[in-house]
């Protein structure tokens, strides 16, 4: 969702901010804009559409300046349009602001300001907040920083804002609550952004701004304060990220690159943790909290989207291996329904970005009720990672494609290791099974490589079915959540209506949809449910449905019934989702490409959903 970039220092701000906005395109957006200050004043340019449309709109215009703030907007208040795009300008023309988040009590403040004669040229909550700041500044005759502090105490909602004053060409004021903000520290220059990808080539030293902090950023100075005007010590973190990680590296799309990275990202996730030779799994976040985890009365997985599917798979694995009751909750539901949280409950938060607003708030309320929070997060230093009591990173590297792929398999790898460790500590797993599952996990990167070695069959299947208006995805046991994930991927990337169902449950409704026009994707690898799923395939074939199967290499029964088959290597059923999910990622990728869609940035979707 909305991306934010700012620069202050000796270089020209425009190219840095524009390039930074392009790096944040993956977050999802519908318009873009930039404000720059130079000796002749402040210039604001904004445009509905892509960052390239913004660039076109600035051709021949004054784009000079050593201080600039830029924004990609994902519409919440007001349709995507030039006038609703950020930055917004205050009524007196002195202030320019960009904002990621939602101001919930904007309507009453807008009324207050309208009564005083303020005019609004957009439908956004951002413009209301900006004029509120201007009003406070004028009435109190105070500094911009002070006015911002007063305003922030009055507003309800989430924000990351960057604010500049045309009369001060050496300050960007930033603030955050609930929406991410990271500041890159250069030599005599500073970079500000929603994540570090816009400035990774300039500096690896960053400060993650915390909720309720205000940053006063000058070329050679960074001051952090809380809303009580007390100075905070900036905590500098060194990033372990290379520029190549945020570029396509020869692939046509980030999604394809990220699918193909999985042998190495899963390997990186296991490396140094899964020590098969000594039978040890080393994960500090778990080791240090093993009593809490092993003695948990209940585990609640809290997540959204693809991460929620990882939680569902983990539910099966944890209950099987650890014998701890597990619930899997959509963060958005969990946070609002006053869930019962007792002492001894463990919340496992699963999130690629670590910034999903619903997950974050759900955790905050569970934490306040005394739950122990364990984060399974990909983005290092993100908000969820920081508010968790303990955690384990998935180490998949930056994921740019909006549809999650490598982060998902990273989550599964972490959750499997976690379940194994807890089961070992509890004594609910035999030594043989424990070692065997470690070996199975260790073998995953090579097996994924095998699937990816030749994807031409999957591409051909995608081209054959690309015009289907609907699709059904079915699976049982560990492969049921894989079916859900397969359906979600197809929806996201190809806009084909797709539903995932437990294969047995289809007789209670979805079977009514089956005709000779409906592709039904079965995740039917060799596991303890195999015989049952063979019967389900027959039930679909008896009704002339078209069956696409994900089957185990060497299986002849499923392929003989299916119209088309995508093979994966054999694996223990607990580990199988790490493999059976890969052909489904590729299937949706190739369908999306065959239909000519922008698979990296599907319409209406955002990579990081930072509003509720
Ligand atoms: C968005 C993304 C999905 C992601 C979900 C949860 O919908 O498009 O790919 O699975 O958010 O995000 P998180 O970062 O918390 O895993």
Query: Which atom belonging to ligand 1 lies closest to the Cα atom of 379?
Result: 14
- Residue-wise pLDDT tens digits, 91-108: 999 999 999 988 999 999
The whole-number pLDDT of residue 499 equals 94
Q: How far, in Å, is the centroid of ligand 1 from the Cα of 302? A: 12
What confidence tier does 611 reach under pLDDT thresholds 50, 70, 90?
A: confident
* Residue 274 predicted with pLDDT over 90: yes
Q: What percent of the chain stands above pLDDT 90? A: 86
- For atom 4 of ligand 1, the residue with the nearest CA is 305
Domain coordinates in residue numbering, the chain: 3-245, 253-442, 453-612
Is the backbone of residue 335 left (phi > 0), alpha (psi -120 to 50) or beta? Answer: alpha
List the structure tokens of 371: 């739950």
Q: How far, in Å, is the centroid of ligand 1 from the Cα of 102? A: 19
Which three-class secondary structure state does DSSP give residue 567? strand
500, 305 contact by CB (below 8 A): no
Helix ranges, 122-218 (H): 125-140, 144-154
- For atom 8 of ligand 1, the residue with the nearest CA is 607
The whole-number pLDDT of residue 435 equals 97
Count of positions (residues) in the chain:
612
Q: How far, in Å, is the centroid of ligand 1 from the Cα of 234? A: 29
The whole-number pLDDT of residue 482 equals 98
Say which CATH topology domain 453-612 has: Rossmann fold (3.40.50)
Q: Can you tell me the mean pLDDT for 598-607?
A: 86
Q: How far, in Å, is the centroid of ligand 1 from the Cα of 255? A: 14
Angle CA(438)–CA(440)–CA(444) in degrees, nearest 5?
A: 115
Peptide bond into 87 cis (omega under 30): yes
* Residue 316 predicted with pLDDT over 80: yes
The whole-number pLDDT of residue 609 equals 80
The whole-number pLDDT of residue 244 equals 80
Which three-class secondary structure state does DSSP give residue 311? helix
List the structure tokens of 594: 């065959």
- Residue-wise pLDDT tens digits, 479-495: 999 999 999 999 999 99
Helix ranges, 196-355 (H): 254-260, 262-270, 284-287, 290-294, 305-322, 331-336
The whole-number pLDDT of residue 15 equals 98
What confidence tier does 242 reach under pLDDT thresholds 50, 70, 90?
A: confident
* pTM for this predicted structure: 0.85
The whole-number pLDDT of residue 313 equals 98
- For atom 15 of ligand 1, the residue with the nearest CA is 351
Query: Which atom belonging to ligand 1 lies closest to the Cα atom of 303?
Result: 15
In SS3 terms, 43-70 reads as: EEEEEECCHHHHHHHCCCCCCCCCEEEE
Q: How far, in Å, is the centroid of ligand 1 from the Cα of 307? A: 7
Q: How far, in Å, is the centroid of ligand 1 from the Cα of 437? A: 28
Ligand 1 pocket: which of 314, 396, 404, 601 to mutate (most atoms within 8 A of CB) = 404
The answer to whether residue 225 is catalytic is: no
* Residue 359 predicted with pLDDT over 90: yes
Q: Which is catalytic among the residues 2, 160, 269, 322?
A: 2
Q: Can you tell me the mean pLDDT for 62-71?
A: 98
Q: How far, in Å, is the centroid of ligand 1 from the Cα of 358? A: 11
CB atoms within 10 A of CB 282: 13
- For atom 1 of ligand 1, the residue with the nearest CA is 607
59, 66 contact by CB (below 8 A): no
Q: Can you tell me the mean pLDDT for 581-589?
A: 98
Ligand 1 pocket: which of 609, 611, 612 to mutate (most atoms within 8 A of CB) = 609
Q: Can you tell me the mean pLDDT for 544-565?
A: 97
* Residue 612 predicted with pLDDT over 80: no
- For atom 7 of ligand 1, the residue with the nearest CA is 305
Which residues are CB-neighbours of 404 under 8 A, at least 6 positions away? 305, 306, 307, 352
What confidence tier does 257 reach under pLDDT thresholds 50, 70, 90?
A: very high
Ligand 1 environment, Cβ below 6 A: 304-307, 351-353, 356, 359, 402-404, 605, 607-609
Query: Which atom belonging to ligand 1 lies closest to the Cα atom of 356?
Result: 15
Provide the Cα torsion 401, 407, 408, 414; round to 10°: 180
Q: Which of 26-40, 299-313, 439-453, 460-474 has the lowest mean pLDDT?
A: 26-40
Which residues are CB-neighbours of 81 under 8 A, at least 6 positions away? 31, 48
- For atom 5 of ligand 1, the residue with the nearest CA is 305
Domain 3-245 has what CATH class? Answer: alpha beta
Q: How far, in Å, is the centroid of ligand 1 from the Cα of 215? A: 28
- Residue-wise pLDDT tens digits, 142-176: 999 999 999 999 999 989 999 999 999 999 999 99
Ligand 1 pocket: which of 303, 305, 381 to mutate (most atoms within 8 A of CB) = 305
Ligand 1 pocket: which of 608, 610, 611, 612 to mutate (most atoms within 8 A of CB) = 608
Residue 140 phi, psi (nearest 5): -95, -5
- On average, the pLDDT of the chain sits at 95
- Residue-wise pLDDT tens digits, 15-59: 999 999 999 988 888 999 999 999 999 999 999 999 999 999 999
* Residue 1 predicted with pLDDT over 80: no
- For atom 3 of ligand 1, the residue with the nearest CA is 305
What is residue 468's DSSP assignment? Answer: -
Say which CATH topology domain 253-442 has: Rossmann fold (3.40.50)
* Residue 83 predicted with pLDDT over 80: yes
The answer to whether residue 607 is catalytic is: yes
Query: Which atom belonging to ligand 1 lies closest to the Cα atom of 403?
Result: 9
Q: Which of 51-65, 83-97, 367-381, 448-462 has the lowest mean pLDDT?
A: 367-381
Fold agreement between 253-442 and 453-612: yes
Q: Can you tell me the mean pLDDT for 377-404?
A: 93
Q: What percent of the chain stands above pLDDT 70? A: 100
């Amino acid at each position: 969702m909305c991306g934010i970039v700012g620069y202050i220092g000796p270089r020209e701000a425009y190219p840095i901010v524009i390039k930074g906005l392009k790096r944040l395109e993956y977050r999802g957006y519908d318009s873009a804009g930039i404000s720059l200050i130079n000796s002749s004043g402040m210039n604001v340019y904004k445009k509905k559409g892509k960052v390239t449309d913004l660039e076109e709109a600035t051709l021949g215009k004054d784009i000079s300046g050593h201080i600039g703030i830029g924004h990609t907007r994902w519409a919440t208040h007001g349709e995507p349009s030039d006038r609703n795009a950020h930055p917004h300008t205050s009524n007196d023309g002195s202030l320019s602001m960009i904002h990621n988040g939602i101001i919930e009590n904007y309507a009453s403040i807008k009324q207050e300001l309208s009564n005083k004669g303020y005019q609004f040229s957009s439908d956004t909550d951002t413009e209301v907040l900006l004029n509120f700041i201007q009003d406070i500044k004028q009435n109190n005759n105070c500094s911009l920083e002070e006015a911002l502090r007063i305003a922030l105490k009055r507003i309800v909602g989430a924000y990351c804002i960057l604010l500049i004053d045309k009369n001060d060409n050496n300050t960007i004021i930033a603030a955050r609550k609930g929406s991410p903000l990271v500041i890159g520290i250069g030599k005599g220059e500073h970079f500000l952004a929603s994540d570090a990808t816009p400035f990774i080539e300039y500096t690896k030293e960053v400060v993650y701004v915390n909720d309720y902090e205000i940053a006063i950023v000058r070329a050679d100075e960074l001051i952090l304060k809380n809303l009580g005007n007390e100075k905070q010590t900036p905590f500098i973190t060194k990033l372990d990220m290379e520029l190549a990680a945020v570029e396509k590296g020869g692939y046509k799309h980030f999604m394809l690159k990220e699918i193909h990275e999985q042998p190495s990202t899963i390997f990186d996730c296991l490396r140094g943790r899964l020590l098969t030779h000594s039978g040890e799994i080393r994960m500090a976040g778990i080791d240090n909290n093993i009593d809490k985890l092993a003695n948990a009365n209940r585990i609640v997985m809290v997540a959204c989207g693809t991460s929620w599917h990882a939680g569902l798979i983990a539910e099966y694995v944890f209950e099987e291996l650890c014998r701890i009751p597990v619930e899997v909750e959509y963060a958005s539901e969990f946070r609002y329904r006053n869930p019962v949280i007792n002492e001894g409950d463990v919340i496992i938060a699963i999130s690629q970005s670590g910034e999903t607003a619903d997950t974050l708030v759900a955790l905050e309320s569970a934490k306040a009720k005394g739950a122990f929070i364990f984060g399974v997060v990909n983005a290092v230093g993100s908000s969820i990672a920081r508010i968790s009591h303990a955690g384990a990173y998935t180490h998949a590297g930056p994921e740019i494609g909006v549809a999650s792929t490598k982060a998902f398999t990273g989550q599964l790898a972490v959750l499997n290791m976690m379940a194994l460790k807890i089961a070992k500590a509890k004594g609910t797993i035999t030594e043989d099974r424990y070692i065997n599952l470690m070996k199975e996990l260790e073998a995953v990167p090579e097996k994924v490589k095998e699937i990816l070695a030749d994807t031409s069959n999957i591409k051909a299947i995608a081209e054959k079915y690309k015009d289907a208006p609907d699709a059904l995805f079915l699976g049982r046991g560990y492969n049921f959540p894989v079916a859900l994930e397969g359906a979600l991927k197809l929806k996201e990337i190809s806009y084909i209506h797709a539903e995932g169902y437990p294969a047995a449950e289809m007789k209670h409704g979805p079977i009514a949809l089956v005709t000779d026009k409906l592709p039904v994707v079965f995740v039917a690898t060799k596991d303890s449910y195999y015989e049952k799923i063979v019967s389900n395939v027959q039930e679909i074939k008896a009704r002339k449905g078209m069956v696409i199967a994900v089957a185990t290499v060497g299986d002849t029964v499923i392929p003989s019934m299916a119209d088309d088959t995508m093979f994966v290597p054999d694996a223990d059923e607990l580990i199988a989702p790490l493999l059976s999910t890969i052909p489904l990622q590729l299937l949706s990728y190739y369908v999306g490409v065959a239909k000519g869609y922008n698979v990296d940035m599907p319409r209406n979707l955002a990579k990081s959903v930072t509003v509720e």
